[in-house]
Amino acid sequence: MDITVESLETPALTKAQLAELLFEQIGLNKRESKDMIDAFFDLVAQSLVDGDDVKITGFGNFQIRTKAPRPGRNPRTGEAIPIEARRVVTFHASHKLKEQIQEQGFSSSRFVP
* Full set of structural domains in the chain with CATH: 11-50 (4.10.520.10), 53-107 (4.10.520.10)
Q: What is the pLDDT of residues 37-60, one digit of tens each?
A: 999 999 999 999 999 999 999 999
b/e 55-68 (16+ beta carbons within 10 angstroms → b): eeeeebebbbeeee
CA dist list (Å): 24 to 5, 8, 105: 11, 13, 26
Cβ atoms of 20 and 9 closer than 8 Å? no
* Residue 22 per-residue DSSP state: I
* 90-100: pLDDT as tens digits: 999 999 999 99
pTM of the model as a whole: 0.70
Residues 2-14, mean pLDDT to the nearest whole number = 63
End-to-end CA distance of the chain: 8
| The pLDDT of residue 8 | 46
Reduced to 3 states (helix: H, G, I; strand: E, B; else coil), residue 107 is: coil
- In sign, the C-alpha dihedral spanning 17, 18, 19, 22 is positive
Could you give the CA distance from residue 74 to residue 101 in angstroms, rounded to a whole number? 37
**Which tens digit of pLDDT belongs to each residue from 61-105?**
999 999 999 999 999 999 999 999 999 999 999 999 999 989 876
